Amino acid sequence: MNTDPNCIFCKIVAGQIPSKQVYADDYVIVFEDINPKAAVHLLVVPREHVVSLADLTPEHDVLIAHIMRLLPKLAQEQGLTTGFRTMINTGKGGGQEVFHLHVHLLGGDDLRGIGF
Ligand code: 5GP
Ligand code: ZN
ipTM for the assembly: 0.99
Q: What total of structural domains would you count in the chain?
A: 1
**115, part of any domain:** no
CA 104 to ligand 1: nearest atom: 4
**114, part of any domain:** no
- Distance (angstroms) between ligand 2 centre and the Cα of 103 equals 13
Contacts of 101 (CB under 8 A, 6+ apart): 45, 46, 50, 51, 52, 53, 55, 56, 88
**89, part of any domain:** yes
- Distance (angstroms) between ligand 2 centre and the Cα of 79 equals 29
**85, part of any domain:** yes
- Residue span of the structural domain in which 70 resides: 8-107
Q: Supply the CATH number for residue 69's domain.
A: 3.30.428.10
Q: Pick from 83, 110, 107: which is nearest to 32 by CA? A: 107
**88, part of any domain:** yes
pLDDT digits (tens, 9 = 90+) for 58-106: 999 999 999 999 999 999 999 999 999 999 999 999 999 999 999 999 9
Is 23 in contact with 74 (CB distance < 8 Å)?
Answer: yes
